[in-house]
Structure 1
Amino acid sequence: MNDAFAPTATPDKAENTTNPVAFGLPVAVLLARVGLARSTYFHQLRAMARPDRDAGLLTLVRDAFEASGRRYGYRRVWLALRGNGVVMSAKRVMRLMTRHGLVPPLRRARRYSSYRGEIGGAAPANLVNRDFHAKAPNRLWVTDITEFRIPAGKAYLSPVIDCHGGMPVAWTIGTSPDSGLANRMLCEACATLKDGERPVIHSDRGCHYRWPGWVRICEEHNLTRSMSAKGCSPDNAAAEGFFGRLKQEFLHGRDFTGVTMDEFIR
């Protein structure tokens, strides 16, 4: 409601609708002209007079956001606050950050793709079907390769991520996205398995995951292979989401000028 419509009397004393306002008209006449209920008008006046209950929380949210270098989204800010004993819902954090412009810079770099067309035999079925929840560790793994570009060159990261906790089981990084990068990562991940653990390993249709070396490692450790549909990144959303958070918090908005590739990899 525009302040020009506010009566000279307080809401509690405004029961007399003949009190003049700035336009020299009774409140009832003005409300009738704009089609607003009288109860709604006075309720809004009282609401505007109440103190902002989010003022204290906004300070905490803003501090957590700034401490991240303005890189955290609302979920990461919520986790940081919860770790410090601040109890509030994630949706409330999202509303505060959106309302006050606390949004990290979004940069969509060209996505690296290892797809080189159909090779080998028939691809495994998509056993995951976009359900990336696992009830226990080492039940469902996802993997992919992502590219980092800095002035010194390009680096490629190949992790395998456990869908139970969302954390990497093993990873390799190098300057060439060859099959050895993926195979070494898978061998290191399999070395962490206990007797009887036979996870599903889900990937896209990149050539790394269809070459004989990868297939052999999966067979030796009784892993069940699963693959996304052709050119369908949502089918591997758990890996894509991990890369997105990693780059948002570590890569975007930072200047790596003068950083060597060895330093970047470390």
Structure 2
Amino acid sequence: MGKQQRYTPEFRSEAVKLVLEQNLSLSVASKRLGIPEGTLASWMAAVRSSSKPSAPGSRSTPDLLAENARLRKELAETRMERDNLKKGNGVLCQGVATRYAFMKKWRLHYPTVTMSRMFNVSRSGFYAWLKRNPSRRTQEDERLKVAIKVAHTRTRESYSAKRLQPELAADGFIVGRDRIARLRRELGLRCRQKRKFKATTNSNHNLPVAENLLDQTFTPSAPNEVWVTDITYIPTGEGWLYLAGVKDVFTREIVGYAMSKRMTQELTGRALFRAVQQKRPAAGLIHHSDRGSQYCAHDYRKLLKQFKMKTSMSRKGNCYDNAPMESFWGSLKNELVHHCRYETRDEAKASIQEYIEIFYNRQRRHSRLGYVAPAIFAQNYNNQQQVA
């Protein structure tokens, strides 16, 4: 933990939610989070002063929070009644502090005397434990939980504990990966579930194909040396939306993309034009794709020749030959598309554009880049080259 802790707006919002959802006093909440009571009070006052009257028939944020807290309480009671305190059996194997913590959590639902007898602890000891100020470690854990919830939401519920570590460090929380994993479990936070997706390539044509220049060796030494490209599709209420993308293998950045209701060479051409317009690559760049008819078409190959690019194509039916692009499709669909239901193509376009431009290129930490975003990695590389 740093000596001077910075509190982001998201952290302040989650701290206020903690007070409202759990109906805590400012004194208790400030001790739990390890922050001054006056600071927390000012955050609460700011929220109250900024809240506006709701429209007729709508529900205000405090009402929704109260309803959410009520539902959580009812769910907890139902589960405890169903399990008949079976979850407490494992607590017997833990220390006294763990038993006290369990009793504190469920004391509003079950008599303290019953739980004391069940866990073989004294009621007086339990009440004395309640009056103690939380330890420094406990306070740090509570602050970390708030920070983890903020980071989990900001990263679209897609980061594991390993990837959350540098994200939290950027917020001023220096903490070990195992501790993050433990607190995530306590909060019940998980990454969005991955789902399989199917990629299609129409290689049944008589158009000329190019040699595989990469042969699964994706190790360029600088930006704009190797680009990979491919097409995927997104379901919407109006039908399929086709997305063509161009990815720089060195920076992992999506340098060009285009979307359309038809899968044509015009679509792939627009994606390539956009990439060239943004990056202005030198002659000799390797352009790698599959054997789809859109990439083998005469007009598209004419574009590659115009831009002085070297053409490379995957072997038939081998998705590993274009692994970097397949990896991006997996991220896009597992982190966004599979969790959305688009009514129109325009709605899908706006969502995908925001994911690529804002999240993937500029915010999403990439493990192969030392856990920095592609655009930042590219900028750092260019800065180093200028200094050299």
Length-normalised TM-score, structure 2: 0.48
Structure 1 segment 11-22 matched on structure 2, within 5 A: none
Change (3 A) 1:237 1:98: farther
Separation (CA, whole Å) in 2 of partners of 1:213 and 1:98: 52
Cross-structure match for 1:240: 326
Report the alpha carbon displacement of residue 173 of structure 1 after superposing the two structures with TM. 0.5
Residue 308 of structure 2 aligns to which amino acid in structure 1?
A: N
Listed as ranges, the matches of 1:148-163 within 5 Å are 148-163=234-249
Q: C-alpha offsets along residues 206-252 of structure 1, whole Å, 9 cap, x if unaligned?
A: 22111111211111111011122221212211111112222233222
Alignment of 1:249-260 (within 5 A): 249-256=335-342, 259-260=343-344
Letter in 2 for 1:167: E
| Counterpart residue identity of residue 219, structure 1 | K
Q: What does 1:1-266 correspond to in 2, within 5 Å?
A: 55=141, 57=144, 60-74=147-161, 77-87=164-174, 92=178, 96=182, 102-125=189-212, 127-194=213-280, 196-256=282-342, 259-266=343-350
Deviation at 1:159, TM superposition (A): 1.3
Looking at structure 2, the residues matched to 142 and 156 of structure 1 have their Cα atoms a distance apart, in angstroms, of 17
Q: Is the 8 A contact 1:97 1:103 kept in 2?
A: no
How far 1:120 sits from its partner (Å)?
2.1
Native 8 Å contact 1:139 1:197 kept in 2 = no
Q: 2: distance between equivalents of 1:96 and 1:202? A: 42
For 2:175 and 2:256, how far apart are their aligned partners in 1?
34
Residues 18-41 of structure 1, C-alpha deviation per residue, up to 9 Å, x if partnerless?
xxxxxxxxxxxxxxxxxxxxxxxx
Is there any run of 5+ residues in structure 1 with no aligned partner, and where? 7-50
**Structure 1 Cα separation of the partners of residues 281 and 155 of structure 2:** 40
Instruction: Kindly indicate which of the two structures has a greater share of residues assigned to helix.
Output: 2
- Deviation, 1:73, is 4.3
**1:128-175 C-alpha deviation (Å, 9 max, x unpaired):** 232333322211111111111122321111111112221111111111
| Distance in structure 2 (CA, Å) of the matches to 1:195 and 1:153 | 35
**Residues 192 and 335 of structure 2 are in contact (CA less than 8 Å); yes or no, is this contact kept in structure 1?**
no
Deviations 1:21-75 (A, max 9, x none): xxxxxxxxxxxxxxxxxxxxxxxxxxxxxx79x9465654344224444344456
| Residues 110 and 196 of structure 1, relative CA distance in 2, 3 Å threshold | closer
Percent identity, aligned pairs only? 26
What's the counterpart of residue 353 of structure 2?
none
Q: How far, CA to CA, are the matches of 2:215 and 2:298 in structure 1? A: 25
- How far apart in 1 are the matches of 2:232 and 2:281? 31
Which one-letter code corresponds to 1:263 in the other structure?
A: E
Structure-2 change in CA distance of 1:263 and 1:254 (3 Å): closer
Are residues 122 and 149 of structure 1, via their aligned partners in 2, closer, same or farther at CA, if it must alter by over 3 Å?
closer
Contact 2:247 2:254 in 1 (8 A): yes
Q: Relative to 1, partners in 2 of residues 1:210 and 1:253: Cα closer, same or farther, differing over 3 Å? A: same
Against the structure 1 CA distance between its residues 136 and 88, is the aligned structure 2 distance closer, same or farther, given a 3 Å change threshold? farther
Amino acid at match of 1:140: V
Kindly provide the CA deviation profile for residues 81-133 of structure 1, in whole angstroms up to 9, marking residues without a partner as x. Answer: 243233457x65885588666432334354231223253234322x2232333
SS state of the match for residue 300, structure 2? helix
Structure 2 unaligned runs (5+)?
1-90, 96-136, 351-388
- 2:125 — aligned with what? none
CA contact (8 A) 2:231 2:244 kept: yes
SS, match of residue 144 in structure 1: strand
Higher RCO structure (Cα 8 Å, ≥6 apart): 1
TM-score of the two chains, using structure 1 as the length reference = 0.67
Give the AA of the match of 1:184. Answer: R
